[in-house]
Amino acid sequence: MRIRFGCEMGYEFSHPTPLIARLNTYPVKGLAAVPPDVLQLDPPVPTRTFRDAFGNRTVRFLAPAGSITLSVHAEIPDDGALDAIVPDAVEHPVEQLPEEALPFLVASRYCESDLLSDEAWDRFGHLEPGWARVQAVCDFVHHHIAFGYAYSHVDRTAVDALAGGRGVCRDYAHLFVALCRALNVPTRYCTGYLSFIGEPEPHGPGDFAAWTECYLGGAWHVFDPRNNAPRRGRILVARGRDAADVPLTHTFGGNRLTKFRVWAEDAATPHRE
């Protein structure tokens, strides 16, 4: 199958403002969008594309004063499979972890694993290490946090999410990441497009999603504490230590968001406005 995905984000600036965007798919060998998911700007302005410290495709440009729209329109092949479940995947002793996993084992701005160490070990330390224990953390976070767009707050951390018990998908991800790292499981924050393919109606409005990846059994595996169920059509845009590393757009000045639309759907079906 093929997934049609993209976004349109409109901004209004009072003066020329630098902007960094991460709205394109994460580069995966042998898997590419057709047409290429190039970031389009209206009006067009010069851009520079580079890979950030985590390998994410990143575009920088100077947005002019006035209105500008950022958009992506593309399709990508997908095997239609659900997120994998690997119950025999083991946890690795820290001394046996690959170096690439170590940055995802320590505290970060929104994921205070150091402050949640006692909480994590009190709740989950008695469980057998491995996939089942990580899933137990996922179950806990899924049930502990009440979802609501009205609960969104840019400064909320994992400690805040645990104390307040409410938030949006990034808060689920941050709390899960912090608890897993406290248990010495390398865990990274992910953001991207998530389809409703195979999900029962009614579907909510399209939006970007946050999920996580844990290093177990010698590989990285998806865990989604917000939905806490395998999903189809997950398209990775960026990954990092937490949301501070992978903002979809980062504007270096005041602005007003005037348009926001996101979609990820079966390309064989009519496009949903």
Q: Would you state the structure tokens that stand for residue 53, as one six-digit string?
A: 């410290």
CA distance 157 to 170: 9
pLDDT at position 272 over 70: no
Q: What is the pLDDT of residues 78-130, one digit of tens each?
A: 999 999 999 999 999 999 999 999 999 999 999 999 999 999 999 999 999 99
The range of the structural domain enclosing residue 46 comes to 2-79+248-266
Q: How confident is the model at residue 5 (pLDDT cuts 50, 70, 90)?
A: very high
pLDDT at position 31 over 70: no
Spatial contact of 161 and 167, defined as CB atoms under 8 Å apart: yes
pLDDT at position 35 over 90: no
DSSP three-state, residue 75: strand
Residue 171 lies in a domain: yes
Instruction: Provide the whole-model pTM.
Output: 0.95
CA distance 226 to 204: 14
Residue 87 lies in a domain: no
Query: What is the pLDDT, as a whole number, of residue 110?
Result: 98
- DSSP E strands in 134-231: the ranges are 146-147, 166-167, 187-194, 208-216, 219-223
The proportion of the chain whose per-residue pLDDT surpasses 90, expressed as a percent, equals 86
Average pLDDT over the chain reads 94
Residue 273 lies in a domain: no
Query: What is the pLDDT, as a whole number, of residue 4?
Result: 93
**Phi, psi (deg, nearest 5) at residue 136:** -65, -40
CA distance 22 to 263: 16
Q: Which residues contact 25 (CB under 8 A, 6 or more apart)?
A: 33, 37, 57, 74, 76, 192, 235, 236, 237
The proportion of the chain whose per-residue pLDDT surpasses 70, expressed as a percent, equals 96
Residues 115, 206 share a domain: yes
CA distance 144 to 166: 8
Residue 256 lies in a domain: yes
Q: What is the pLDDT of residues 154-213, one digit of tens each?
A: 899 999 999 999 999 999 999 999 999 999 999 999 999 999 999 988 888 889 999 999
Residue 86 lies in a domain: no
Residues 182, 230 share a domain: yes
CA distance 201 to 182: 37
Q: Would you state the structure tokens that stand for residue 258, as one six-digit string?
A: 């005037």
Residue 88 lies in a domain: no
**Phi, psi (deg, nearest 5) at residue 181:** -65, -35
Residue 125 lies in a domain: yes
